[in-house]
Amino acid sequence: MSKLLPPHGGKGLTCCLLEGKALADEKKKAEGLKKVTMSDRERGDLIMLGIGGFSPLTGFMTKADWKGVLDKFLLADGTFWPIPVTMSISKEDAAAIKDGEEIALVDKDNGEIMGTMKVTEKYGMDAAAKKYECEKTFMGEGTKTAADFWKIAEKDHPGVQMVMNQKDVNIAGPVKVLSEGEFPTKYAGIYMRPAESRKIFEERGWAEVAALQLRNPMHRSHEYLAKIAVEVCDGVFIHSLVGNLKPGDIPAEVRVKCIDVLVKKYFVEDKVLQGGYPLDMRYAGPREALLHATFRQNYGCSRMIIGRDHAGVGDFYGMFEAQTIFEKIPHPAEPGKALLCTPLKIDWTFYCHKCDGMASLRTCPHGKEDRVLLSGTALRKGLSEGAPIADHFGREEVLDILREYYKNLETKVEIKLHGAATGNTK
């Protein structure tokens, strides 16, 4: 009997990825189906549907699911879910697809058929519907009104840009997944299915597992968060996004090298597992924190480390809004339908010269002038501009890897510092 939390939704891992003869037969059939291209985000979502990362989902959302998630954090059947998982097509393609018809889902970059889908519903997504989705998903405490939000959102928020650039019709229905793309080979040993991480946790005898979400190179604050989690749980799952990021973020293969050297030199290795997952960042702040906790439950984690400005971008969210949102979500009474992975809330962390070590706003009584404030954005900006990096910001072994990356980078993106990266705690 497993000691781990069960997968979200009460149905076990719902995996849509085919194997063996079923895979070969579906691939052959897919060649004769109408073909629809996917965005990068949709491709990552499809793979997560395939490997059980999005359990209990088995396909792209209906309008009732979409609306329920936005308005109440609930699927139409009453299961908790925080962010829409949708597939969009053009009006022309929608007109050519009949209800109940099967279609092939194609990678827009290389033409690979990634999956098939039985289209059970089509619903329009005009500008008003897209704006509604954006306001519900991406508008946080950093912008007080919708008018304030829209003054900057379409220019500065990559998640908003993704939604507003979607095609005009969403299609819903169950999927069969035929490929995990490049992830199993490009990130061999890092990319994992939920069944694989669960097996490792069980082999190690872990019951309480904390997940550390990473999209930046692992600096001293991340290291400190992970070590706090190791102290209070059986182990920590350092789980990096290996899908797409916004321009200026550091690619996954570089971040993986940074984590490797940190784990080998600064952690008890059998208390840490490194993994990767195939999604694109949505930069949805609080809602994305909930999504991270939801699919980490599927991976076998009972706690989700939530620090400052989790999954944020710019100044769209309050610094700890991603923590407080966990107190506001519904908890369905029906077994399996509530989110069971709980937040491990940690205050703003930094190196304090007077404390002579890592500390947080809860433990350090000293002033800002004594602290080395740690931010992935600030680190990227300093490295990109060739500026000196403050002592105790990161381990030298990690900084060496990052300096080498930036030295060989031909095109650099201007990186803006926002409130959560500058030490402004108000």
Residue from 62, 31, 41, 294 nearest 178 by CA: 31
Widest pairwise Cα distance in the chain: 68
Q: Which two tokens stand for residue 114?
A: 């990634």
Q: How far apart, in whole angstroms, are the C-alpha atoms of residue 302 and residue 304?
A: 7
Which amino acid, residue 100? Answer: G
Q: How far apart, in whole angstroms, are the C-alpha atoms of residue 18 and residue 15?
A: 8
* 367 to 23, 308, 355: CA distances (angstroms): 60, 18, 11
Report whether 14 contacts 57 (CB < 8 A): yes
Q: How far apart, in whole angstroms, are the C-alpha atoms of residue 339 and residue 323?
A: 14
Beta strand spans in 92-246 (E): 102-107, 113-118, 121-124, 169-177, 209-214, 235-241
Which amino acid, residue 380? Answer: R
Sheet order of strands, 349-352 included: 357-360, 349-352, 371-373
Enzyme catalytic residues: 215-216
Look up tokens 């971040």; give the residue.
255
Cα dihedral across residues 401, 407, 411, 415: positive or negative? positive
Residue from 29, 69, 115, 36 nearest 287 by CA: 69
Distance from CA of residue 196 to its chain's centroid?
A: 18
Residues in CB range of 134: below 8 A, 6 or more apart: 153, 159, 160, 163, 164
